[in-house]
Structure 1
Amino acid sequence: MMSNCVLAVLCLVVTLICVQASDVPVFIWGKPSVTYVPALSQYKTSEFSALIESQSGADTFTLVFVEDSLSSEDLSQCKLGTQTCFRNLANLNRKSYLPNVQNPLDTFDVEDKNVQIVKVSEDGTLSERVTPKGGAVVILNLQGDDFASHDALIDNLYNRFRAEFDKTLAIYTAKTPSFSYPTLIRQRRQAKQDTPQPDMKTFTVENTFIIAYEKFSAGASDQDITEVSFNKIDKTDSNSSDPGTLQIELNGPGGVLVFNFLLSQGSWQIVGVKFDNTDYHLRHRVDVNQHFSYHCNRLEYFTVDGKKRILFEEVQLQPHWESEGTEKFTRFGDAWDCIGFTSPGILTGLFLVAIFIFIGAYGITWMMDIRTMDRYDDPKGKTIIVSAAE
């Protein structure tokens, strides 16, 4: 019995919150017979329709001011300095406020010939001519999201039409709520979509070499370098007969890039890079385990005089020597990244820790050297005399 009660309460709470998530506030004013309702009342569409029918009739001209989105939070939190954005609406003497009305616009049949839909521009211009008459309904769609200017437009339009037709009923509401209420509905968790990866360019020499990079650029060091594209890769015969050497050549309309690799003592190295017959040198040596690939977000080479440079962005490469085994070389091995194990921030932290340790140890040794008194002065006896030797 208790579990059934708890389940019923939970279902009621979920229903109330879900309904509230689609509700919008409504202001009604203009006719002296407008009924005051409790501030916490919640109206369904049918109940709101009955309320409007009781206030309007064949002799009533109805104005419906509609925002794209509006919630009770907008009415209470929108401020201009210390004053509310809805000053004119707040100064109305007789008005009804319904904080939660479910789809209030469904009350009005847009296909009815007595219902006219008009757009109100930000300067107050109407898209169509409006003639106030009994039984007519005009839905005025407000443009933009400036509540303060909309409050002034509503006041001006209402006073203008009220001067032409005395029995005018005004309604201020919105199409959708602007505030998302939390719900107790359990939703299925979905994995976030992966961020689209950049367009990587990949070149391979069968069972010999793989390189993948996002962008390659070349130019003067003191200027913006330009991107260079390649469309062909080849393994070339190096000048040395050493089987531990490998030379790879990338060709394209922008130039020719040559890599020279050396396999020595279980690791491979980049021993030379040449672009358009000009030698380039890396400031940090590339020396990687034989079965590892090399990855770097910015692999930058300079000429000896430092006037020219080439740059690989997000590059990963790996040479392969056929003597390593008969298995085909088709993908990268584990990546050895160009970022060092010890960064400047880590070194700074270690240096500061060492200073604090030194200061703390020095202070502790001083405190350990403090000696307590072994003789005390007796106020009734003879004064203690301490000689210089002591």
Structure 2
Amino acid sequence: MAAVGRVCVNARMILHVFICLFAAAKSDEQVPLVAWASDGFVLSPVNAPSAGHTVSMDELESYLNTALSATPHNLLLFLQDKLSVDDFTMYGGVFGNKQDSVFQNLEAALVPSSSLWLPSVSSSAAALVPTLLQNQIDAAPLYMNPETLAQLRLNASVAALLVFRLPYSGGADMMSTKEVLSGNDEVIGQVLSIMKAQSVPYTAVFTALWPSRVVEEASPAVQSVWSRSLLQSRRDELPAPNPPLEFKEKGSTCILMWAEKLVVSQYRSGKWERHDLTSQTFGKGVEPNLSGSSCNDTHSRLVLNYEDVLNFRSFKLLLVMNRRHYKVSARHWFTMDLVQLEYDGKKASFNGSRHIYAPSEYSYRCESVSSSYYAQLSPHSDKDNANDWQISFENFQIQGFNVAGKDFSYASDCASFFTPGIWMGLVTSLLMVLVLTYGLHMIMQLRTMDRFDDPKGPAISVPQTE
């Protein structure tokens, strides 16, 4: 028995080391966790973690051991596939005052009871919540649904761990996600109603395996500055990134755009003349003229008006985006249909709809958008002067629909899935498969002799007939 105990302890230590290493690699993936008890029971007080702190596996185990020490040992675990704090902010009023909430049953359960709220738990630690709860009561988890639970007769004196898996939709559009979350809340309400009808006290935990949205530590602008800074430079010496350009309609922001560098060039007298528009467009205290801009649910038009650009009296940069519903993907997408330069009554138009597109609830981001190098912007027509102009955005990001506040939504990056490294791996694998196939073909063509010559006997003679 002692040897078995030592083996279990060693196995547990190895598991802890593996989890800590995995948590360090996945520290940016965080999920919320909320726990509460049924009426008449109170969770033991726990010192809440500081704001921004990610709860590790050891810390989570300590929090659960303390909070659940005096609560019923009939444990309910609602384990959703994906969940983030943004889901509560966007779809519910669990920690706010939203009237149209999809978490109504969860809110109702939290109001009369004390609760444990951990907004940022490492996803590797949250994945071990069933194991941590199992250690609390020394009982194997039972995976169930409300229909199966209604047929059981639970005993308040017998500890049980009931796990209910809940889906999360990242699917067709934002409304489908809202409907799935509302359905999950109904499942929670049904389970709690069954427990109340059977007069069985319980302790409930609601969390997820993975985050539905990965929160980046810094904005794209900050990451761009840091990625290009010298290793010996100090943090306080780095210049603060410029805020994004925003256009407001009826007092609310509806278009956001940001670029680290914006340059236009015209071909004159056998050479390209460049003009940098960055300082006139972005920067603290810079207020570009946006007259002519507009936005609605299906059409966004951003107009940047400049003066004295390449010796032109009037110069405009227009970016036109449209939002459409595509039946194949069953969701709304926006495309950059037109990027146009207007100067002294002339035009140079470029089309970006083939390369610049994203889901309508996302923003679009690309390291480089240009009409020359990568050709995301192609001449709209051969009849205008697009061939005499070049336009280039570096670290470009734009959002023309579903803007909330002054921050970009989740960015849909232009980086292709099939990178050069992946193509090299695919081609190399194909060559190896061809060589292997050729070798197998040659082996299958080998034939043994059908007769043999005996050196001690007479030679084999083959009669010839005419």
Same fold (TM over 0.5): no
TM norm structure 2:
0.36
